[in-house]
Amino acid sequence: MQKILPPATEDLAFVIGPYQRPIARVQPGETFQVSTLDAFGNRIDSPDLDLTKIIQLPYVNPCTGPIFVEGASPGDTLAVTVGEISITRDYAVSCLIPEFGGLCGTVYTRTLNEPLPQRILLHPIDKSGMIHDPQLDIIPIPAEPFYGTIGTSPAIEAISTLSPGFHGGNMDAADICPGNTVYLPVNVEGALLFVGDGHAAQGDAEVCGVAAEVPTTGTFTVNLIKGNAISTPRVESEDFLMSIGSARPMEDAARIAFYDLISWLAADYGFDRIAAYQLCSQVAVVRVANMVDVLYSVVAKFPKKYLLRGQQVTGN
Amino acid sequence: MQKILPPATEDLAFVIGPYQRPIARVQPGETFQVSTLDAFGNRIDSPDLDLTKIIQLPYVNPCTGPIFVEGASPGDTLAVTVGEISITRDYAVSCLIPEFGGLCGTVYTRTLNEPLPQRILLHPIDKSGMIHDPQLDIIPIPAEPFYGTIGTSPAIEAISTLSPGFHGGNMDAADICPGNTVYLPVNVEGALLFVGDGHAAQGDAEVCGVAAEVPTTGTFTVNLIKGNAISTPRVESEDFLMSIGSARPMEDAARIAFYDLISWLAADYGFDRIAAYQLCSQVAVVRVANMVDVLYSVVAKFPKKYLLRGQQVTGN
Amino acid sequence: MQKILPPATEDLAFVIGPYQRPIARVQPGETFQVSTLDAFGNRIDSPDLDLTKIIQLPYVNPCTGPIFVEGASPGDTLAVTVGEISITRDYAVSCLIPEFGGLCGTVYTRTLNEPLPQRILLHPIDKSGMIHDPQLDIIPIPAEPFYGTIGTSPAIEAISTLSPGFHGGNMDAADICPGNTVYLPVNVEGALLFVGDGHAAQGDAEVCGVAAEVPTTGTFTVNLIKGNAISTPRVESEDFLMSIGSARPMEDAARIAFYDLISWLAADYGFDRIAAYQLCSQVAVVRVANMVDVLYSVVAKFPKKYLLRGQQVTGN
Amino acid sequence: MQKILPPATEDLAFVIGPYQRPIARVQPGETFQVSTLDAFGNRIDSPDLDLTKIIQLPYVNPCTGPIFVEGASPGDTLAVTVGEISITRDYAVSCLIPEFGGLCGTVYTRTLNEPLPQRILLHPIDKSGMIHDPQLDIIPIPAEPFYGTIGTSPAIEAISTLSPGFHGGNMDAADICPGNTVYLPVNVEGALLFVGDGHAAQGDAEVCGVAAEVPTTGTFTVNLIKGNAISTPRVESEDFLMSIGSARPMEDAARIAFYDLISWLAADYGFDRIAAYQLCSQVAVVRVANMVDVLYSVVAKFPKKYLLRGQQVTGN
């Protein structure tokens, strides 16, 4: 199995775009491994570091990529099935980063208040995969790793790995996890896939801005759906069809997600659009993936058990 | 058991405020029944009605109330435990209301596009509590009734029953369901509780603006927490502490909810605020209750299993 | 000329709604005087007061009213022409109110940061109408008084005098000034007009949340436009037609304002709606009235010189 | 005087970033001319074209650049003074683009409503510089040309020329006009300046999404302010200091603009930050530059006559 490692420091990907040389090439149908650094480039190993030296924008959240998918052409859709994710360090990092997070003034929601203090926590992960909090006497949190960042190159833009968008990117959606398939748009030859930002655990919304950040090695299988352009990332699990919208304000993220989910139900599953809209109002599930990044991400989910009966077997 | 019925048509409550005469009085500790009309005043019994005649603002979403709680004074908190909810009709109503909903131009998000068409569906509910969709060949949806609207009077404002807010109101949060306790602020003598908008089923976000709307009879128990003002509604279930924020844009609803949840963890459960903020970033659950009402509502939930160990037994 | 004074303290209007007894009655066509307290009830006379004692929600921004307009019925429009405004005190008050304002965490945009400090400034107003800043060596600011708050009662809601909305209210639009006519919806018999919140000077957006607050005596003339309902407040000056939208997020306020302005141009001035939309994109003027209140207010203005030539003489 | 022309079609700049080769080099202090295509690449010459063929994202709004400024290094500020702007065509183009604009569903504010129709207008510009509207009998609009798009390269991102941001870009602020100086951040060696999107006239907010679009030749003078990083674009005119914020929702754009304006007053003009905040609340002017682009842009303006007296002579 091909093993794709993060490039050397000077070649790390801090934008998702078409301007970096591919670090690996994969075939449609191929299963391969990708190793990722954590969002801080694995540079935090002590609670006493000065975060202002570690976090120097835009050099945050290094991704492993670009990975060139043979045969992928603009207008196709890339289907990435996530397999097992191994956490490759015995601790996770969480932080409070001044002027970043959901409940403080930020570079976007600018306020004159004094920033919150910085804070670093190292969370030991034991052999059974439980995450510990050395400061709090709570029961440990089970590690359920997923990728915060996965995306394909836009046609000509190069987008910070801190931002989610129509290309995927830093969605921080816990649905990008083992067993699920992510659909991403192909905008350039080879698709140019980037992966990073492993999370051992994360609450909905990632409210303080940082999850339990870990380096990983993950297994992926890519497939191409030729000539079937999608307009925003989708995810499919055993139980759900999901569309992910990333925008500000948050309601626009939800609108993008629901609009696409309804369009998907109409195009592939036989629903009338208005009927799908009304049915989603009764059965949809919504996840707020992040309320902290450059754009907020919202996942709209349709339970597959409510697909029209003739459609339930086939899947996408 | 006291049975509180909706008042005569001319006395129906379409605002939550201090200006209507109480229709009933209850004691702290008392368990009583409240019957509610559906959001359309039980006036939709056919898919062929003209919605513009049924929905004449502001006379929509009639609530049963005000209910005077003896002994409640400004600064107290009213704890309302929801018991069994009976659906008192053999069908639910769902609609598409032009210029209302999450994916269309509205009176707030004003657009020049042509409105979507109106549409009414009557959904039979069978004896086993399954909701059917006569137009779609899907498996039926189980009825899981809850109250879309529950609130207490503001001090001097009278707020449309279509709006949620710091007083509760039309939050459309499926957590206002049997077994859970809702905490509401007391702003006037007697608290003045209003209840309505029974939903047999609703997806997160209530995306088209209407759930499976039903009349109900519900059982409630009220208690007073004297001298302990809360700033936004809270809910407690066996597994979660929850705070509900209602605002626009949606991120402000999420901010209110998380801020209050963290304040709750700090005040009652021994957490340092910053530690609670960081922990919520790993374990919180978020529900988007509605993205269609006057204000959007978001529920931030903290799993009680992650309370500090010394605090897990006692509850609120 | 009828002189309408603020009522006694216990009867001051802190909500705009149908539940208070009229304090005066006026005839269509009548010119009358209204005196108003400042937004703090004239209670700030020193920079050393404790604002937390002065500002006790919801008892802020007392308005003078309700004023009953004879013959006004639901569905009419009330035209209120503002005449001379006298500032009735020799100083204005400005403040910094913790957790209120455009550049800090608030009860809506909730943050965990420490609040900004409180601060009170008294600004002497000299005989020539210049406002001085005793702390800053700047050239004095000319007083250009206007009313921050003017509105008519909703049908059944009672809305805080701190909030703007479709009923007018606390828009903080400097266009509510001498010579201009404000159009407000009539939702109840007698319209029930409320006026308050005199400002001697205010920048666009009122960014810190407080203007140069003053008590006033103003002259008003009211007229009725029978059977011509408007959906949001409008203002007409010698040079502009203006529509005011109040909503959050701010773009929704702008959408409401522009939608109404275009509807006005189409209904009364002969424009095709799409042509008006496209023309506004070339010639409209926008004022951000406030970015601090319960809802933000935006004024969209159409220069009357670009009315279709046949329409320029007649006015509304 | 150096004359910089738009590059050949295949080299047109549709992103602002560091990945294109400079098309010209200028010295600090140099005055030079730049010619620009209109936002549609000068391809609209008839009202009967099919816009879906003209507007193929992301190949819209071609800019002239990158222009390398000798000696510019990351952390410097580039001061660009705009001289005369010549409109180089005898008509302007305005359009209605389906799913783009302030009052319709868009790719961000996704709705299920039918899109508005496309519409193209050609506006003759006469020799006296008046813009005519062949469909409407209004008095002609005077041409007051400015640049909708001007920006410098981010460090590693390549941002669509349709988007404004901290780097400048598609702000659509009419203050980027003859006589004014724009300050832009330098993030890469040579700054890499891009200019385009000439507007012969535009209303505040550019509500339908398109101004009176024209090709131009403009005169510019660049200067470097070494070692003085700014965080968002600034503009200075004879009468105003201005900061431009670009974000969604619109209030965040206003927050960024005011925060920077206050920081500027504090750093360069002797103001205490809180005093500047309070003073802006009395005298600031706000322009909504656009409510249609990828991010909204708001200009916060401080009248220089209210600078502290000792500071009024010196300028920046």
CA distance A75 to D92: 34
- For C15, the closest of B157, B259, B277 (CB atoms) is B157
Within 10 angstroms of residue C123's Cβ, the number of other Cβ atoms is 24
Within 10 angstroms of residue C287's Cβ, the number of other Cβ atoms is 24
> Mutation test of the interface with chain A: which of B207, B213, B256, B309, choosing the one with the most A Cβ atoms within 10 A?
B207
Phi first, then psi, for residue C199 (nearest 5°) are -120, 125
Q: Is residue B313's pLDDT more than 60?
A: no
Classify residue A238 by its DSSP letter: S
Q: Is residue D310's pLDDT more than 80?
A: no
Do strands A63-69 and A24-26 pair parallel, antiparallel, or not at all (unpaired)? parallel
Q: Is residue D314's pLDDT more than 80?
A: no
Q: Count interface pairs A-D at CB distance under 8 A.
A: 87
C234-311 topology per CATH: Endonuclease I-creI (3.10.28)
Q: Test A203 with B284 for CB contact under 8 angstroms.
A: yes
- Give ranges for CATH 3.10.28.20 in chain D: 234-311
pLDDT tens by residue, D195-225: 999 999 999 999 999 999 999 999 999 999 9
pLDDT tens by residue, B149-159: 999 999 999 99
Find chain C residues with C-beta within 8 A of D96's C-beta.
274, 277-278
CA distance A255 to B104: 9
CA distance D207 to C275: 12
Query: For residue B281, which of B262, B305, B253 has the smallest C-alpha distance?
Result: B262
Find chain D residues with C-beta within 8 A of B112's C-beta.
103-104, 116
* Least Cα separation, residue A221 to chain D (angstroms): 29
Phi first, then psi, for residue C164 (nearest 5°) are -85, 175
Q: Is residue C311's pLDDT more than 80?
A: no
**pLDDT band, residue B315 (cuts 50/70/90):** very low
Query: For residue A208, which of A140, A284, A139, A116 has the smallest C-alpha distance?
Result: A116
Which residue of D lies nearest to A109 if distances are taken between CA atoms? D252
Tell me the two tokens of residue B162: 């279509």
Q: Test A204 with B274 for CB contact under 8 angstroms.
A: no
The predicted structure's pLDDT at residue B44: 98
Tell me the two tokens of residue A261: 């989910």
Lowest mean pLDDT among A255-259, B180-184, C131-135, D65-69: C131-135
The predicted structure's pLDDT at residue A312: 63
Phi first, then psi, for residue A85 (nearest 5°) are -120, 120
Touching check for D273 and chain C: CB below 8 Å? no
The alpha carbon of residue D242 and the mean position of all alpha carbons in its chain are separated, in whole angstroms, by: 13
Q: What is the mean pLDDT of residues C29-58?
A: 96
Q: Are A160 and A131 in contact (CB under 8 A)?
A: no
How many angstroms separate the most distant Cα atoms in chain A? 59
Touching check for B250 and chain D: CB below 8 Å? no
Q: What is the mean pLDDT of residues D133-151?
A: 96
pLDDT tens by residue, B46-86: 999 999 999 999 999 999 999 999 999 999 999 999 999 99
Find chain C residues with C-beta within 8 A of B112's C-beta.
259, 262, 273-274, 277
Q: What is the mean pLDDT of residues B197-204?
A: 98
**Percent of chain C having pLDDT more than 90?**
96
Find chain C residues with C-beta within 8 A of B281's C-beta.
none
More confident residue, A56 or B315: A56
Q: Is residue D316's pLDDT more than 70?
A: no
CA distance B236 to B304: 10
Find chain C residues with C-beta within 8 A of B259's C-beta.
110-112
Q: Count interface pairs B-D at CB distance under 8 A.
A: 34
- For A157, the closest of D108, D159, D259 (CB atoms) is D159
First-to-last alpha carbon distance for chain B, in angstroms, is 27
Q: Test B113 with D109 for CB contact under 8 angstroms.
A: no
> Mutation test of the interface with chain D: which of B99, B100, B108, B112, choosing the one with the most D Cβ atoms within 10 A?
B112
How many angstroms separate the most distant Cα atoms in chain D? 59
The predicted structure's pLDDT at residue A313: 52
Q: Test A103 with C115 for CB contact under 8 angstroms.
A: no
Tell me how far CA of residue B2 lies from CA of B9, B179, B218, in angstroms: 21, 20, 12
> Is omega for the bond preceding B58 within 30 degrees of 0, making it cis?
yes
**pLDDT band, residue D244 (cuts 50/70/90):** very high
pLDDT tens by residue, D273-299: 999 999 999 999 999 999 999 999 999
CA distance B240 to B182: 12
What single string gives the DSSP state of each residue in chain D? -EEE----GGG-B-EESTTSPPSEEE-TT-EEEEEE--TTTT----TTS-HHHH--TTS-S-BEEEEEETT--TT-EEEEEEEEEEE-SSEEEEEE-TT-STTS--SSS--SSPPPPPEEEEEEB-TTSEE--TTS-SPPEEP--EEEEEEE--SS-BEETT-EETTEEE---TTSSTT-EEEEE--STT--EEEEEEEEE--GGGTTS--EE--EEEEEEEEEETT---SS-EEE-SSEEEEEEEESSHHHHHHHHHHHHHHHHHHHH---HHHHHHHHHHH-EEEEEESSSSSEEEEEEEEGGGS-GGGTTT--
Touching check for A274 and chain D: CB below 8 Å? yes
CATH class of D2-225: mainly beta
- Give ranges for CATH 2.60.120.580 in chain A: 2-225
CA distance C140 to C136: 10
Q: Is residue D192's pLDDT more than 80?
A: yes
The predicted structure's pLDDT at residue B148: 98
CA distance A247 to D28: 39
pLDDT tens for chain A, residues 1 to 316? 999 999 998 899 999 999 999 999 999 999 999 999 999 999 999 999 999 999 999 999 999 999 999 999 999 999 999 999 999 999 999 999 999 999 999 999 999 999 999 999 999 999 999 999 988 999 999 999 999 999 999 999 999 999 999 999 999 999 999 999 999 999 999 999 999 999 999 999 999 999 999 999 999 999 999 998 999 999 999 999 999 999 999 999 999 999 999 999 999 999 999 999 999 999 999 999 999 999 999 999 999 999 998 776 544 4
* Least Cα separation, residue C274 to chain B (angstroms): 9
pLDDT tens by residue, B155-179: 999 999 999 999 999 999 999 999 9
**pLDDT band, residue B310 (cuts 50/70/90):** confident
CA triplet C255, D302, C202: central angle to 5 degrees? 65
Which residue of B lies nearest to A137 if distances are taken between CA atoms? B308
Find chain B residues with C-beta within 8 A of C160's C-beta.
156-157
**pLDDT band, residue C310 (cuts 50/70/90):** confident
Find chain C residues with C-beta within 8 A of D117's C-beta.
274
Find chain A residues with C-beta within 8 A of C113's C-beta.
104-105, 111, 113-116
Find chain D residues with C-beta within 8 A of A273's C-beta.
112
**Percent of chain D having pLDDT more than 90?**
96
Q: Test D19 with A158 for CB contact under 8 angstroms.
A: yes
Find chain A residues with C-beta within 8 A of D17's C-beta.
157-158
pLDDT tens by residue, C153-201: 999 999 999 999 999 999 999 999 999 999 999 999 999 999 999 999 9
Touching check for C61 and chain B: CB below 8 Å? no
What single string gives the DSSP state of each residue in chain B? -EEE----GGG-B-EESTTSPPSEEE-TT-EEEEEE--TTTT----TTS-HHHH--TTS-S-BEEEEEETT--TT-EEEEEEEEEEE-SSEEEEEE-TT-STTS--SSS--SSPPPPPEEEEEEB-TTSEE--TTS-SPPEEP--EEEEEEE--SS-BEETT-EETTEEE---TTSSTT-EEEEE--STT--EEEEEEEEE--GGGTTS--EE--EEEEEEEEEETT---SS-EEE-SSEEEEEEEESSHHHHHHHHHHHHHHHHHHHH---HHHHHHHHHHH-EEEEEESSSSSEEEEEEEEGGGS-GGGTTT--
Find chain A residues with C-beta within 8 A of C110's C-beta.
103
Touching check for B133 and chain A: CB below 8 Å? yes
**pLDDT band, residue D46 (cuts 50/70/90):** very high
ipTM score assigned to the predicted complex: 0.97
Q: Test D250 with C249 for CB contact under 8 angstroms.
A: yes
User: Residue A281, SS3?
Assistant: helix
First-to-last alpha carbon distance for chain D, in angstroms, is 27
Q: What is the mean pLDDT of residues B118-147?
A: 96
* A159 contact partners, CB below 8 Å, separation of at least 6: A15, A16, A17, A151, A165, A167, A169, D157
Classify residue C88 by its DSSP letter: -
Q: Are A125 and A200 in contact (CB under 8 A)?
A: yes
Angular region, C294: left φ>0, alpha ψ -120 to 50, beta rest: alpha
Q: Test A110 with D248 for CB contact under 8 angstroms.
A: no
Q: Is residue C313's pLDDT more than 90?
A: no
Query: For residue C243, which of C255, C251, C228 has the smallest C-alpha distance?
Result: C255
**CA gyration radius, chain C:** 19
Which run of H or of E encompasses C278?
helix C273-283
Find chain A residues with C-beta within 8 A of C104's C-beta.
105, 111-113
Q: Test C157 with B58 for CB contact under 8 angstroms.
A: yes
Query: For residue D78, which of D214, D189, D174 has the smallest C-alpha distance?
Result: D189
> Mutation test of the interface with chain B: which of D113, D118, D250, D251, choosing the one with the most B Cβ atoms within 10 A?
D113
CA distance A153 to A15: 9
* Least Cα separation, residue C209 to chain A (angstroms): 13
Mean pLDDT of chain B: 96
Mean pLDDT of chain D: 96
Q: What is the mean pLDDT of residues C124-152?
A: 96
The predicted structure's pLDDT at residue C228: 86
Touching check for B276 and chain A: CB below 8 Å? no
- Per the listing, tokens 């004297």 go with B226
CA distance A35 to A6: 6
Touching check for C115 and chain D: CB below 8 Å? no
Structure pTM? 0.98
Neighbors of chain D by Cβ distance (3+ pairs < 8 Å): A, B, C
Touching check for C254 and chain B: CB below 8 Å? no
pLDDT tens by residue, C175-188: 999 999 999 999 99
Classify residue A206 by its DSSP letter: G
Strand partners of residue D213? D93, D199
- For B58, the closest of C111, C155, C252 (CB atoms) is C155
Which residue of A lies nearest to C98 if distances are taken between CA atoms? A113
User: Residue A211, SS3?
Assistant: coil
Touching check for B156 and chain D: CB below 8 Å? no
Touching check for D113 and chain B: CB below 8 Å? yes
**pLDDT band, residue B297 (cuts 50/70/90):** very high
- Per the listing, tokens 């901010």 go with B255
Which run of H or of E encompasses A201?
strand A193-201
Instruction: Write out residues 178-217 of C within 8 Å (CB-CB) of D.
Output: 201-212
Touching check for A114 and chain B: CB below 8 Å? no
Number of alpha helices (DSSP H) and beta strands (DSSP E) in chain A: 3, 22
**pLDDT band, residue D252 (cuts 50/70/90):** very high
Q: Count interface pairs C-D at CB distance under 8 A.
A: 189
Strand partners of residue C130? C142
Q: Is residue B2's pLDDT more than 90?
A: yes
CA distance C46 to D18: 56
Neighbors of chain C by Cβ distance (3+ pairs < 8 Å): A, B, D
Find chain A residues with C-beta within 8 A of B102's C-beta.
251, 254-255, 258
Touching check for D294 and chain B: CB below 8 Å? no
User: Residue A18, SS3?
Assistant: coil
Phi first, then psi, for residue B268 (nearest 5°) are -110, -15
